[in-house]
């Protein structure tokens, strides 16, 4: 009888011990997700806490290239501008991330509207999406004048000549980029008869030149930032060593990364407003990581990914289901 009681107590303690162990080792539960796209419009949802691939969905439509994105977090809607081939025009496409997350369809479709883009314009930039209804293109019509064309609801509403206003010439253009959160245009070009590059920063809300410097003298890879702080990424080959630089928007070096291959420049980057951190995602060459970038020290804090996210190149969009 005494042995039976001992066995019963031991069994109860074992169950309690297992329960406690499970609670202690329980996996993090995702309440928010990182959403990324590739050039063809295929999308992946990755758990924000677990870094686990939740599911992928593939586009029914084929896109030659995606030129720009806009994410409306208040409605969980994502908009992007793309073209299907060299002959058809641009279209504005819309995805409801909430619906896609709920259905988890293997293939997804979009709603689309035409953009009345002039096919004679030579496109020099991606689509700079200020909102789902307002977006800009940098183009040239005559191989000399550089124009900023602004569209609203698919129609051209404004044209500004950047050559006459800011002395931008269609020669030695090294980089054109758009900082969506601050609505700034970054324009980098070679300085004539010099090894320097000139970086010009324009506030698109006022069309004023708000900054200009020759401190950023690297091959331009990209930019990221929030409303207050913006950063540039560049690369320089020195002998057999590759240097990849993270600088502030004024070209002041934050970090000099000498990894064995281009890393930050190929990463998808996003600003996480919840954690006040810049995050990156990179996949390829046996490297599959997400992590954070310390924009004060340049430190990369790396974490692995569970699952197969495949190659992605869009910004990171943060999605919280309703």
Per-residue pLDDT tens digits for 194-221: 889 999 999 999 999 999 999 999 999 8
State the alpha helices, DSSP H only, in 95-213.
97-103, 162-166
Residue 74: CB atoms within 10 Å:
6
pLDDT, residue 17, reads 46
The Cα–Cα gap between 280 and 294 comes to: 11
pLDDT, residue 259, reads 63
The Cα–Cα gap between 78 and 94 comes to: 6
* C-alpha 67: how far from chain center: 12
Kindly give, in sequence order, each residue whose CB lies less than 8 Å from that of residue 14, ignoring residues fewer than 6 positions away.
Answer: none
On whether the CB atoms of residues 43 and 57 are closer than 8 A, the answer is: yes
pLDDT, residue 194, reads 87
The token duo for 15 is 């169950």
State the pTM of this model: 0.86
The Cα–Cα gap between 57 and 43 comes to: 5
pLDDT, residue 179, reads 97
* 3-state SS, residue 182: coil
The Cα–Cα gap between 67 and 80 comes to: 7
| pLDDT < 50 stretches in the chain | 1-26
């Amino acid at each position: 009888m005494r042995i039976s009681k001992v066995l019963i107590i031991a069994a109860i303690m074992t169950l309690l011990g297992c329960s406690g162990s499970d609670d202690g080792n329980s996996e993090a539960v995702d309440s928010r997700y990182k959403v990324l796209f590739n050039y063809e419009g295929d999308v992946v949802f990755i758990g924000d806490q677990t870094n686990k691939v939740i599911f992928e969905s593939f586009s029914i439509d084929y896109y030659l290239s995606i030129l720009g994105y806009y994410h409306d977090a208040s409605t969980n809607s994502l908009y992007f501008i793309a073209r299907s081939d060299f002959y058809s025009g641009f279209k504005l496409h819309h995805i409801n991330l909430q619906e896609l997350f709920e259905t988890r369809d293997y293939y997804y479709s979009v709603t689309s509207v035409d953009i009345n883009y002039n096919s004679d314009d030579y496109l020099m930039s991606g689509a700079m999406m200020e909102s789902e209804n307002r977006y800009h293109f940098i183009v040239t019509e005559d191989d000399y004048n550089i124009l900023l064309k602004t569209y609203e609801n698919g129609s051209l509403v404004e044209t500004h000549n950047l050559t006459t206003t800011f002395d931008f010439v269609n020669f030695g253009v090294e980089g054109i980029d758009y900082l969506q959160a601050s609505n700034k245009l970054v324009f980098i070009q070679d300085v004539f008869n010099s090894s320097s590059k000139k970086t010009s920063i324009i506030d698109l809300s006022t069309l004023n030149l708000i900054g200009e410097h020759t401190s950023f003298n690297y091959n331009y890879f990209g930019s990221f930032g929030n409303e207050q702080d913006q950063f540039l990424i560049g690369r320089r080959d020195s002998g057999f060593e590759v240097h990849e630089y993270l600088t502030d928007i004024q070209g002041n070096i934050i970090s000099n990364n000498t990894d064995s291959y281009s890393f930050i420049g190929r990463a998808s980057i996003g600003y996480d407003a919840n954690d006040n951190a810049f995050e990156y995602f990179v996949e390829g060459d046996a490297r599959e990581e997400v992590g954070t970038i310390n924009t004060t020290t340049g430190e990369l804090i790396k974490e692995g990914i569970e699952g197969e996210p495949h190659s992605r190149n869009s910004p990171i969009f943060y999605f919280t289901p309703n």
